[in-house]
Structure 1
């Protein structure tokens, strides 16, 4: 009984194998360091534009099974090493295609990381009160001159004669700077240099206590940072109408 059963199983196995031959192939190989000849552990090997792939083991060996017959591009990648692609790799049914990789170390070029810095609500190392107006903000404000920007800042008052006063101080107690260079008019206490709004990169108005580096100022400081030159010429044209 046992012999008959064994013979029947062998016959069925032979028929089954004949009726359903292998339909896939296999790719195998080894990943080694080209400089040290040491095996690379954990390298990624995959067939481009497919879901087939493998990871090299402790000896650097890898196996990709159940690959349909055809021609593929085989890619090997590992962190810190060059990425290699072998094109035209042919896979046949019931055959093992052997592909080895010798990869070399490569400098890692990471992606650019953009860190957005925001001004802290409370700056522990600053004792003065300061207002900052950027060029982007200036473009959205209903102003025509730099004086209009200064007048809109907290603690700044413009009298009937057109002179500024910061926190009740006199007009001559304000220091004006452009790119860090003093431009205070010694006769009337105002700025001796006029600028257009589109020249300003940032406007800084410091009131109250401020660092001794500025000097010659008692009530406030107006510091204007101008834009840098560009490779292309550009300009602005504006028209304003009013009824006086």
Structure 2
């Protein structure tokens, strides 16, 4: 029978005076953090491969530089449009961030108005059957029609200023929200609606307290689709 050595007999604890402190155990990387690092590395690798292929295509002159410019030319154009160079300020007198701000303002105003109109139309279509019968064909027609198809008519009606652009975004954003809201409102839990009516709630109270909260997730999906369509129409 072997006797344990002095090192094996000592319990693990604080180091004695005069002895160096014990090294802390190595930290193990959590699986979630390792997975995030792998995903980030894979995305960076994919971006590097894409840039390399882009540079290779432009170096081989497979297409004209006017159609496929090299990455360096795109970067130079980005730098030039982002500030003032050789006395020229950005693109057409505005920097890139200013152009972006104008586009975002158009989306906020136009798509915001379309979302509000879609919410009102969807609630009315979902709660009043005769409203759904009257307006559902028009909403379905606008939903299937590409937004840029009626841009010429908007220019004829409202001119070439900001008005036709805002109307275009509003008309493009309204149908997805109206359809999603009408479907969600119509499929609200009947038991909750009947319970609210049983305690004396009126139609506006039922809609505000029962129908809209239950329909909120589907309405948000319609709002997300509306802003996506509006952004692609800008």
Q: TM-score, normalised by structure 2?
A: 0.19
Which fold has the larger relative contact order, with Cα–Cα distance below 8 Å and residues 6 or more apart in sequence? 2
Higher helix share: 2
Higher strand share: 1
Q: TM-score, normalised by structure 1?
A: 0.19
- Larger C-alpha radius of gyration, 1 or 2? 1
